[in-house]
């Protein structure tokens, strides 16, 4: 089996900063392999050894990213490929995916492509899916369990509220979750011992005319603002019982247990004359009354200038007397299963009626 592993070099988590150009500032920062990518490297090496195949590790980045490739080779990868060129600067997730997909095509056919679930410097998790789409590969994201058969991969993948078990034909692309395998790590001496001929290089000319980097990016970074930290950074000594009592005492001093009433919501605006258009609909989630109240208040503000109605939909919506005080003109109940798909289908059916 020929396995490609895509990794990323990221700044140490506590040193993340944006530069004046609104790009991540790497100058003078401590850089390391993305934690999720360490799982991908370990899994790629394991599969290559099990099948008598090859594990090739690729990264897109500045020359310093070669350090991550040397660590991957020190952990058992057969070779590394650094994709580096000034033309790649300013790449967003889509431009990154296009570059990595072009590099994979340039290097030949792979049976499996492994990535980290996401990078800790951006947390989008978009690039693996974009690469899979560009290469026409089946994909599973957030893989926690993996079994290789003669013709396919059996995987168990994380979902927001559950798990997915599925089978993927090869070739395929997987993004690796935290508990798939122990992370690949190597010391500085082992990394320094990796011979130069185990690291290859690709530049923009080798991948074709592009466009690349900023010219291929569709993302625009808006204004940023700083936040002020308010953590007390307290650490208490003693046994667990003493620590808990001191923490509870401090929380009480800070008012964490005060049962003061919620601040009053602003009054619902009086509706203006009807100017046409459909209802503004709010979906009520069971057990989230405050969120429903806030959404209805905003919907009432949006509806007032045009005289539109605000309709609240839900499987267990509040009574009209309550919902009306929050801004609803009408309450409708979605009957049937509580499954998300059934709720979505019921909402779609009502909206299209």
Average pLDDT over residues 159-167: 83
Q: Is the pLDDT confidence value at 156 over 90?
A: yes
Q: Is the peptide bond before 24 cis (omega within 30 degrees of 0)?
A: no
pLDDT value of position 207: 96
pLDDT value of position 18: 58
The DSSP code for 213 is H
Strands, E, within the chain: which ranges?
A: 2-7, 9-11, 31-33, 54-60, 79-83, 112-116, 139-148, 152-159, 162-169, 172-176, 199-202, 280-284, 310-314, 330-333
pLDDT per residue as tens digits for the range 224-259: 777 777 788 889 998 999 999 999 999 989 888 876
287 versus 44: the higher-pLDDT residue is 44
pLDDT value of position 25: 58
Q: Is the pLDDT confidence value at 193 over 80?
A: yes
Q: Is the pLDDT confidence value at 336 over 70?
A: no
Distance CA 157, CA 144 (A): 5
CB 285 within 8 A of CB 304: no
pLDDT value of position 14: 54
Average pLDDT across the chain, whole number:
87
pLDDT value of position 227: 76
Which of 46-55, 119-128, 282-291 has the highest mean predicted lDDT (pLDDT)?
A: 46-55
Q: Is the pLDDT confidence value at 13 over 80?
A: no
Q: Which stretch of 169-173, 253-257, 325-329, 335-339 has the lowest confidence by average pLDDT?
A: 335-339
Average pLDDT over residues 173-191: 93
pLDDT value of position 314: 85
pLDDT value of position 92: 92
pLDDT value of position 305: 87
Domains observed in the chain: 2-216 (3.40.50.620), 280-352 (no CATH)
Q: Is the pLDDT confidence value at 190 over 80?
A: yes
pLDDT per residue as tens digits for the range 54-85: 999 999 999 999 999 999 999 999 999 999 99
From the list 67, 167, 44, 170, the residue with the least C-alpha distance to 115 is 44
And the tokens for 78? Answer: 């057969």
Q: Is the pLDDT confidence value at 16 over 60?
A: no
Average pLDDT over residues 119-123: 84
How many alpha carbons lie under 13 Å from residue 27 in its C-beta half-sphere?
A: 6
The percent of residues in the chain predicted with pLDDT above 70, rounded, is: 90
Q: Is the pLDDT confidence value at 262 over 80?
A: no
Residues whose CB is less than 8 angstroms from the CB of residue 68 and which lie 6 or more positions away in sequence, other chains included: 7, 8, 9, 32, 33, 37, 59, 61
Q: Is the pLDDT confidence value at 303 over 60?
A: yes
Q: Which stretch of 147-156, 267-276, 280-289, 323-332 has the lowest confidence by average pLDDT?
A: 267-276
Average pLDDT over residues 208-223: 88
pLDDT value of position 185: 93
Q: Is the pLDDT confidence value at 115 over 70?
A: yes
Residues whose CB is less than 8 angstroms from the CB of residue 62 and which lie 6 or more positions away in sequence, other chains included: 26, 84
CB 143 within 8 A of CB 180: yes
345 versus 217: the higher-pLDDT residue is 217
pLDDT value of position 140: 94
341 versus 148: the higher-pLDDT residue is 148
């Amino acid at each position: 089996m020929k396995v490609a592993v895509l990794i990323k070099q990221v700044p140490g988590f506590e040193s993340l900063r944006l530069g004046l150009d609104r790009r991540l500032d790497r100058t003078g920062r401590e850089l390391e392999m993305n934690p999720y990518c360490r799982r991908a490297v370990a899994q790629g090496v394991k599969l290559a050894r099990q099948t008598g195949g090859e594990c090739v590790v690729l990264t897109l980045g500045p020359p310093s990213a070669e350090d991550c490739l040397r660590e991957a080779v020190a952990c058992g990868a057969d070779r590394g490929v650094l994709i580096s060129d000034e033309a790649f600067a300013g790449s967003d997730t889509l431009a990154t995916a296009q570059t990595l997909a072009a590099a994979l095509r340039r290097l030949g056919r792979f049976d499996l492509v492994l990535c980290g679930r996401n990078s800790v410097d951006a947390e989008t998790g978009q690039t693996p899916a974009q690469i899979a789409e560009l290469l026409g590969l089946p994909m599973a994201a957030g893989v926690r369990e993996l079994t290789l058969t003669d013709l396919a991969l059996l995987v168990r993948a994380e979902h927001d509220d559950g798990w997915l078990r599925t089978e993927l034909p090869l070739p395929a692309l997987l993004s690796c979750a935290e508990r798939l395998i122990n992370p690949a790590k190597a010391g500085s001496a082992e990394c320094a011992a990796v011979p130069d001929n185990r690291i290859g290089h690709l530049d923009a000319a080798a991948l074709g005319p592009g466009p690349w980097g900023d010219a291929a990016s569709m993302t625009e970074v808006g204004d940023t603002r700083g936040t002020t930290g308010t953590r007390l950074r307290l650490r208490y000594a003693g046994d667990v019982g003493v620590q808990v009592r001191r923490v509870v005492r401090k929380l009480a001093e800070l008012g964490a247990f005060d049962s003061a009433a919620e601040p009053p919501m602003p009054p619902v605006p009086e509706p203006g004359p009807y100017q046409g258009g459909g209802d503004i609909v709010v979906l009520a989630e069971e057990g989230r009354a405050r969120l429903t109240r806030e959404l209805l208040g905003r919907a009432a503000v949006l509806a007032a200038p045009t005289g539109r109605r605000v309709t609240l939909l839900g499987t267990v919506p509040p009574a009209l007397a309550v919902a009306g005080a929050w801004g609803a003109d009408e309450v409708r109940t979605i009957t049937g299963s509580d499954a998300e798909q059934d709720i979505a289908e019921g909402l779609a059916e009502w909206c299209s009626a």
